[in-house]
A and B are shown apart, each in its own frame.
Chain A
Amino acid sequence: MKFIVLKLLALFMIFSFTSVSANTIHSTETLSTHQEETYKSQPLSEMIGGFLNSTGIAAFMHPDPNELSANGSKMSDFHKSWGRIIMILVTFFLFWLAIKKGFEPLLLLPIAFGGLLANIPVAGIAGDHGFLGVIYDMGLSNEMFPIIIFMGVGAMTDFGPLLSNPKTALLGGAAQFGIFGTLVGAVALSQAGFVDFTLQQASAISIIGGADGPTSIFIATKLAPELLGAIAVASYSYMAMVPIIQPPIMKALTTEAERKIKMTTLRHVSRLEKLVFPIMVLTLAILVLPESTPLIGAFMFGNFLKESGVVERLNDTLQNSLINTVTIFLGLGVGSKLASDQFLVPDTMFIMALGIIAFSVGTASGVIMAKIMNMFPGHKVNPLIGSAGVSAVPMAARVSNKVGMEYDRTNMLLMHAMGPNVAGVIGSAVAAGVLISLFQ
């Protein structure tokens, strides 16, 4: 096609403007000779020297003093050389965790690889014009990706277990103590002069205790975008480490008899109940806390599509292709914030420490809440499902099930634990709404 057009054009030119066409041909010829003239022949040694200066080794050893970080600020020499090497080793460690240990590989692998790419000198992949930077601007800085993930999670969530045993929602509420407990902790730390967190930053850090990746990213980009990398990595790596962090706390707070409590089988939930539920939660959120409706709205949209049963194609897209696509972008975008100058700072250490405190407090308060509920008459609750109140769907529920099975092989807690688990998602979205309404 192109050729035909070109030929027609050439014919047209030859027949009508012979002189002009001769002129243009002439000018292109002069242009090419001109280009040849500007290229000066160099001695081989100089070429090799120039090439060696552009290698990664040279960039690590003798960083370019004028090189700026991804967000355009100055970087120290440490962050350009050893800092990058350390961060690359950190990403290798994350690979190991994801592949060998199976810690949330779906998220940890894209995040870690994004981190690896973001720490490459010279190429500037995480910069404004690098592809990681473009991905970040595309959906992270405007909170788009976490919202889409929330839709997908909504489409994957089954509220049946919660509907058949509504009181377990309290466990999902109690686990949010992790968030607000950590908020107090972060404020106390900056009061004591260790770090200088503003209230916005403190609340963005504390949301790690909600154990909900998308919510953490949503809040962090809204309240403290400068801490996004550390918060997202802390959030996802602790979510991945739920099977390690939670069991000791659960075992420490319960007696053997309590761990063996068998719960009554769940009643059947009708389709209509499941269909009304998302609208009911959203209505409540609209009335009580409109700030939480972006998260809850997206979540309930996904769930409503699923429960409606008439848009199987959309439901399937949300659950599979869309959430997978967005997960890749979200992971890489978060990984771009693992650049050494943003991650290797003292704040990160405190965020990591506060994050694990948030997780532990959330787990513990869920378990304690279950024990309190057992003091009241009614069906007994196995306190092990309390820990599932931290969102981390469905990991936390699986952990409850696994610990329960350790003590009684016939005690299947998985479905019972899904109740507090999904209530935890709603709870942390509400908590996020409270934080936004307080601090924005």
Chain B
Amino acid sequence: METNLVMEGFKFMALGMGTVFMFLIVLIFMMNLMSIIIHRFFPEPMLKEEVLASSVPQDNKKVIAAITAAISHHRQG
């Protein structure tokens, strides 16, 4: 009887840690699966952001070019 309770404790430990690990391992598989599926079938709208990001500096360049042209024209004139 004496050792029984501690043994019970170890049983709880095995069961508990088993559940926690099983849960997390299944979760890891699902996370990996999900990222594969999402990357294959729903490729990020990230690209759009990049397009947007790259288009802004171009506009800036155009504006800068226009300003410098105007300034040089003004100085010449």
A interface list, Cβ under 8 A from B: 162-163, 166-167, 169-170, 172-173, 176-177, 179-181, 183-184, 186-188, 190-191, 199, 202-203, 268-270, 272-273, 276-277, 280-281, 284-285, 288-289, 423, 426-427, 430-431, 434-435, 438
Contact = CB atoms under 8 A, between A and B. Distances in A.
Contacts, number: 111
B57 interface: no
Interface string B2-43: 100110111011011101111111111011101100110010
A102 B17 CA distance: 34
B59 interface: no
Contacts of B24: 169-170, 172-173, 423, 426-427, 430
Question: Across chains A and B, which 5 residue pairs bring their CB atoms closest together, nearest first?
Answer: A184-B9, A180-B13, A187-B9, A166-B31, A173-B24
A60 B64 CA distance: 80
Given A183-B16, A280-B34, A434-B15, 7 more contacts: A162-B31, A166-B28, A180-B17, A184-B6, A184-B9, A270-B39, A438-B16
B38 A173 contact: no
A169 B9 contact: no
Given A166-B32, A273-B34, A284-B27, A183 B9 contact: yes
A288 B16 CA distance: 13
A44 to B, nearest CB: 66
7 contacts: A170-B24, A176-B16, A184-B9, A184-B12, A272-B42, A276-B38, A438-B15
B13 to A, nearest CB: 4
Contact of B12 (A180, A276, A289): A180
Chain B interface, >50% SS class: helix
A281 B23 CA distance: 9
A284 B26 contact: yes
Contacts of A188: 5-6, 9
B27 A426 contact: yes
B8 A187 contact: yes
A434 B28 contact: no
- Give the interface centre of B12, B13, B23, B28 by most chain A CB atoms within 10 Å: B23
A365 to B, nearest CB: 10
B5 to A, nearest CB: 5
Nearest to A202: B9
Contacts of B44: 270
Contacts of B13: 177, 180-181, 183-184
B34 A427 contact: no
Contacts of B30: 280, 284
B53 interface: no
Given A166-B32, A272-B42, A280-B30, A289 B19 contact: yes
B46 interface: yes
Given A184-B13, A187-B8, A423-B24, A288 B19 contact: yes
Contacts of B32: 166
A183 B12 contact: yes
A273 B30 CA distance: 11
Contacts of A270: 38-39, 42, 44, 46
Contacts of A166: 27-28, 31-32
Given A184-B6, A273-B34, A273-B35, A430 B23 contact: yes
B35 to A, nearest CB: 6
Contacts of A183: 9, 12-13, 16
Given A180-B12, A180-B13, A438-B12, A272 B19 contact: no
Contact of B20 (A163, A273, A431): A431
A434 B8 CA distance: 15
Nearest to A281: B27
Contacts of A276: 34, 38
Contacts of A163: 31, 35
A101 to B, nearest CB: 33
Nearest to A435: B16
